[in-house]
Amino acid sequence: MKKLCVIGAGAAGLAAAKNGLKLNCDVTVFEQSNAVGGTWVYTDEIGKDKYGLDVHSSMYKGLHTNLPKEIMSFPDFPIPYQEKSYILAEDMLAYLNLYADNFKLKEKIKFEHHVVRVRPLIDDTWEVLVRDLKIEKYLIYNFDLIFICNGHYHTPIIPFYEGKNFFKGKILHSHDYRCPDPFENETVLIIGAGPSGMDLANEISKKATRVTLSHHLPEPPKTQFKTNVDLKPDVVKLTEDGAAFADGTLNTFSVVFYCTGYKYTFPFLSFDSGITCDDNFVRPLYKHCININRPTLAFIGLPFYVCATQMFDLQARFCLTFMTDKKKIPSKTEMIEDSEKEMNKRWSKGFKKHQAHLMGCDQGKYYEDLSKTAEIEPLKPVIAKLHNFSSLRFLDDLTNFRQDIFRIIDDETFIKVQ
C-alpha cells in the first residue's frame, strides 16, 4: 500500500485524496486551515492569520462563480440542482464539503497542519516536515508519494511602478479585496483587466465616486460598465496623488488596486526536489503535472483557464495510474521529449513563460491527451465547449453574463436556456 501525502484540502486536494483512496493508497492530507475548500472559504482577515501565516483565500463577499455550475463539479459528483448556473461562493463551498463527506475524506485530513518542508530521501521516498499549529510542534512524516495541491491564487504579484513610494493614497492587491463598502466616495484605479480586475471594477463602481480600469488588452473590453467607470491604457508611473498613463494623460486617485495576478509558490519544496519555478513556469513536468526528475511527486491544478474541478479529478487519476504502477511510466528521456514538444508548441504560438500552463481554448485537447495517455475515463467534450463559450460571454457582457442558464444535453452538447 503506497503512502500518499496530499498538501492542501481545497478542491484539488479533495480530488487527489478521493482518487488515492479509490486506488487503495494510505492517504494523509495536510491542511493549514481548519476547513476544506481553500479559495472558497471566505474570511474577513487580510495579511496574516492567527498563526502568523499569510491569509490564503482571496474570496470576497457576495462572489458568484464566473463559470456555470454545470462545469464546476467533479465529473462523478454533480452540484445539487438549482435553477441558476452561476452560483454563490457559499454554495460552491457547501458542495465541496458534501463531496468530502460523501467520500469520507475529512477523516484523512490533518487540519491546522502547515507543511514546512518536503524533501526527497535516498530511497526515492519523501520526508515531510509539518508544523502542528494547535500544539505548536514540528512533526516529521515519511511518504512514498506526494501530491502538491496548495493552489495558486494566494501570493500576489506586485509590479514595480516609478513613483510608487510617493503615492499618498492606499495601495492594495485584489487578494485583499473583501467588499465594496470601504471604497465609498473614493477614486479608485484598478490595474489589470483579467477576471479579477474586471470583476472588481464592476463591484467597486457600486460605491466609489470614480473607477478607472487600466489595461493592456489588444482591444478594450466590450463590457458595458456603470457610467462612473472609465478605461485607460497602461500606467507609466504613479505620482503623489494619482497616476500617469501611456496615452499621456494624468489622473488623481485615492486608492490603487493591483489586479496583477498571483505567483505560483511552493515554499516547502527543498532545492533537491527536482523542481524549479520561474515566472509561474513550473518545470520539468510531464503533462503539466508529474515531476520528471522525481516522478513520485506531482502537482494537481497548475493549468489555468480550465474547468478546474473536472481537471483536478482527471489529473489525479492520470498521475495515480503511473504513480501506483497500474501503468508503466515513460522513461525520463521520453517524458523530457514530450514536455519539450509541448512547450515548444506554446513558445511558437508566442506564449510567454507566465503562460506556460495556460490552457484556454486548447483545454479539450489537453484533457483528451491525459485520458488517452493513461487509458483512463475521459472528460466529456461538452465540458471544454461550455467553458470556452461562457468565457467569451464573461468578456463580452460582464454585467449580465451571470444571468445565463445552461443545460447539458449529452456528452457533446449544451444549450443556453436563458
| Three cell numbers written together for 155 | 501570493
Q: How far apart are CA 16 and CA 319, in angstroms?
A: 9
Contact pattern from residue 328 through residue 357 relative to ligand FAD, giving x for each residue in contact according to CB under 6 A and a dash for the rest:
------------------------------
User: Strand 235-238 to strand 242-245: parallel, antiparallel, or no bridges (unpaired)?
Assistant: antiparallel
Contact pattern from residue 154 through residue 193 relative to ligand FAD, giving x for each residue in contact according to CB under 6 A and a dash for the rest:
x---------------------------------------
Pick between residue 161 and residue 367 the one whose CB is nearest to ligand FAD. Answer: 367
To ligand FAD, the closest distance from the beta carbon of 41 in angstroms equals 7
Q: Work out which of 18, 108, 114, 402 binds ligand FAD, going by CB under 6 A.
A: 114
Which strand (E) or helix (H) includes residue 384? helix 381-396
Q: How far apart are CA 319 and CA 325, in angstroms?
A: 10
Applying the rule CB under 6 A, the residues between 265 and 294 that interact with ligand FAD are: 268
Q: Work out which of 28, 85, 150, 363 binds ligand FAD, going by CB under 6 A.
A: 150
Q: How far apart are CA 113 and CA 101, in angstroms?
A: 20
Which residues 6+ apart lie within 8 Å of 392 measured at CB? none
Q: Are 249 and 259 in contact (CB under 8 A)?
A: no
Pick between residue 148 and residue 238 the one whose CB is nearest to ligand FAD. Answer: 148
To ligand FAD, the closest distance from the beta carbon of 336 in angstroms equals 26
Q: Where are the alpha helices (DSSP H) in 85-194?
A: 89-102
Q: Which CB contacts under 8 angstroms, 24+ apart, belong to 40-44?
A: 40/10, 40/11, 40/89, 40/92, 40/93, 40/96, 41/93, 42/89, 42/90, 42/93, 44/178
Task: Please tell me whether residue 402 binds ligand FAD under the rule CB under 6 A.
Answer: no
Pick between residue 150 and residue 363 the one whose CB is nearest to ligand FAD. Answer: 150
Task: Please tell me whether residue 153 binds ligand FAD under the rule CB under 6 A.
Answer: yes
Task: Please tell me whether residue 8 binds ligand FAD under the rule CB under 6 A.
Answer: yes
DSSP helix/strand/coil, 34: coil
Pick between residue 92 and residue 329 the one whose CB is nearest to ligand FAD. Answer: 92
Task: Please tell me whether residue 308 binds ligand FAD under the rule CB under 6 A.
Answer: yes
CA dist 314 to 116, 289, 299, 368, 374, Å?
27, 11, 12, 10, 10
DSSP helix/strand/coil, 128: strand
Q: How far apart are CA 217 and CA 235, in angstroms?
A: 13
User: Strand 276-278 to strand 281-283: parallel, antiparallel, or no bridges (unpaired)?
Assistant: antiparallel
* The one segment of 133-141, 143-151, 221-229, 395-403 that binds ligand FAD by CB under 6 A: 143-151
Task: Please tell me whether residue 151 binds ligand FAD under the rule CB under 6 A.
Answer: yes
Q: Which amino acid is at 229?
A: V
Q: How far apart are CA 82 and CA 104, in angstroms?
A: 25
Q: Which amino acid is at 362?
A: D
Task: Please tell me whether residue 310 binds ligand FAD under the rule CB under 6 A.
Answer: no
Task: Please tell me whether residue 384 binds ligand FAD under the rule CB under 6 A.
Answer: no
* The one segment of 150-158, 201-209, 290-298, 347-355 that binds ligand FAD by CB under 6 A: 150-158
Applying the rule CB under 6 A, the residues between 15 and 74 that interact with ligand FAD are: 30-33, 38-39, 56, 58-59, 63, 65-67, 72
* The one segment of 2-10, 253-261, 343-351, 397-405 that binds ligand FAD by CB under 6 A: 2-10
Task: Please tell me whether residue 313 binds ligand FAD under the rule CB under 6 A.
Answer: no
Residues near ligand FAD (CB under 6 A): 7-13, 30-33, 38-39, 56, 58-59, 63, 65-67, 72, 114-115, 149-151, 153-154, 268, 301, 308
